[in-house]
Amino acid sequence: MDPLLLGAIVAIATILVLFSGVSVALGLLIVSAVFLLIFDGARSLELMPELLFGKLDNFALLSIPMFIIMGSSIASTRAGADLYEALERWLTRVPGGLVVSNLGACALFAAMSGSSPATCAAIGKMGIPEMRKRGYPDGVAAGSIAAGGTLGILIPPSVTMIVYGIATETSIGRLFLAGVIPGLMLVGLFMAWSLYSTWKSGNAAQLGAGSYTWAQRFEILPRVLPFLGIILGVLYAMYGGIATPSETAAVGALLCLLIAMIIYRLWNPKDLWVVLRDSTKESVMILFIIAAAGVFSYMLSSLFITQSIAEWIGTLEVNRWVLMGVVNVFLLIAGFFLPPVAVILMAAPILLPIIDTAGFDPIWFAVVLTINMEIGLISPPVGLNLYVINGIAPDISLKTILTGSLPFVACMVLAILLLCLFPSLATWLPDMVMGAAR
């Protein structure tokens, strides 16, 4: 059979199987097994456990549970609330300071915890009621937190970027750096929109600011600086060439756990177990998808599907930007239904040859892909962050949260366009720190 036609059949089968509600990892194994059985014979099934084990046999994977432990130990403490308060106290004089400090707290907390829903919950619980009390429109209050929470998968250290690095064999260090400037750019765009729409709503006059003494401002610092210090230390160790991402992540995980225990008194074995249980649960889920996706991509290349798609794209007479547009729409749709890591793992073996053939930089593409995934997190029908916000602010209607989030989706689309116009937004920092890629 023509590999391209076969590829289309595999794609349809995968969609059908995944939409049946079976878990993503097992779904990928089922599709792989069926097609290997039909086209390579029963003996190829014997290879599956070996392939699966082989895919996990990689030291870089250690960084996934390590960064997850870092994030969930931070998320289990009051660190989010402290961070929010610290920024509020320090930024109170800035016009529109409250929404600025909320978005800043979201960005920082999302980077540290790496979890979108945790960020929305931690910052939103304090931030949303406070913003509404001071006259910010409901839509801005809800939307800014929903959008701010998505930044965690872009700003380093990001588990999503690690998974992309592993799936596509690109440098995790470069990927982390590539997310920094676009992440800051997104924060800037979010802030600009929030301030503009608050001003337009006509409530700007009553946006009173709380006032704090310098003593109050300094008093809160000892509680937030250690975590920030660890994150910066981890990034320094990685780029200083001191240790690999996995090694620094392990040290970071240990330190974050210790800080949570010492500063936030997370001593109770039950509370510690919750941190460990959640980390184990999420790590196992992601690692199993990685392993299953490895078997899936073996199936694709053993049936010559991957190679044929790349060849076919090469012969297409389409503009590469049209191609990029199509890829983006595909990712956007996939992101509506699936968590970022699952989309990346499934799409990477198919998309990367396309991206390569069309001459796009895989590091730059990682950033575009990640922003696409962020859009998925705040878009209906399954945008997770929308429901988290709905949970912590039940008196704001889902419709208001939705319409409040849409302008932030537009900011993300704008960011993707800017990245297409100026690719160096993503590639400049990694090239400067680590030397030119090729």
Partner 1 sequence: MAGHSSAVASHTGDNPFLRVVAALSTLAGWCSAAMIVSAVAITCQMIVVRFVLNRSTVWQTEAVIYLVIAATLIGLPYVQRLRGHVNVDLIPISLAPRPRFVMAILTSLLSIAIVSIMVIYGYEYWHFAWQRGWKSDTVWGVRLWIPYLALPVGFGLLLLQLIADLVAVLLGIDKPFGLEDS
Positions touching partner 1 (CB under 8 A) are 17-27, 29-30, 33, 45-50, 52-53, 56-59, 61-62, 65-66, 69, 72, 75, 115-118, 242-243, 246-247, 250-251, 253-254, 273, 276-285, 287-289, 291, 337-342, 381-382, 384
Q: Return the HEC string of 138-175.
A: HHHHHHHHHHHHHHHHCCCCCHHHHHHHHHHCCCHHHH
Whichever of 220 and 334 has its CB closer to partner 1, that residue is: 334
State the nearest-atom distance from the C-beta of 247 to partner 1, in Å: 6
Q: How far is the CB of 60 from partner 1 (least distance, A)?
A: 10
Q: Enter the tokens of residue 120.
A: 């929305």
315, 358 Cβ separation under 8 angstroms: no
CB distance 383 to 377 below 8 Å = yes
What Cα–Cα distance (Å) separates residue 432 from each residue in 23, 129, 179, 192, 435? 41, 42, 14, 28, 6
Taking the C-alpha atoms of residue 378 and residue 381, their distance in angstroms, rounded to an integer, is 9
Q: Is 154 within 8 Å of 377 (Cβ atoms)?
A: no
In the complex, least distance from residue 57 CB atom to partner 1, rounded to whole angstroms: 6
d(CA 272, CA 262): 12
**How crowded is the C-beta side of 155, counted as CA atoms within 13 Å?**
25
Q: Are the C-beta atoms of 264 and 79 separated by less than 8 Å?
A: yes
- For residue 382, CA distances in Å to 150, 285, 390, 421, 438 come to 14, 19, 13, 30, 39
Concatenating the DSSP letter of every residue in 311-334 gives: HHHHH----HHHHHHHHHHHHHHH
How far apart are CB 434 and partner 1 at their closest, in Å?
21
Give the whole-angstrom CA distance, residue 295 versus residue 289.
10
CB 303 within 8 A of CB 2: no
> What is the smallest separation between the CB atom of 251 and partner 1, expressed in angstroms?
6
Find the shortest distance in angstroms from Cβ 265 to partner 1: 20
What residue spans of 169-220 are helical by DSSP H?
A: 172-200, 214-219
Residue-by-residue DSSP string for 346-378: HHHHHHHHHHHHTT--HHHHHHHHHHHHHHHHT
96 neighbors 318 (Cβ within 8 angstroms)? no
In the complex, least distance from residue 43 CB atom to partner 1, rounded to whole angstroms: 10
Between 27 and 182, CB nearer to partner 1 = 27
Residue in 83, 86, 100 with CA at minimum distance from that of residue 134 = 100
- Shortest gap between Cβ of 68 and partner 1 (angstroms)? 9
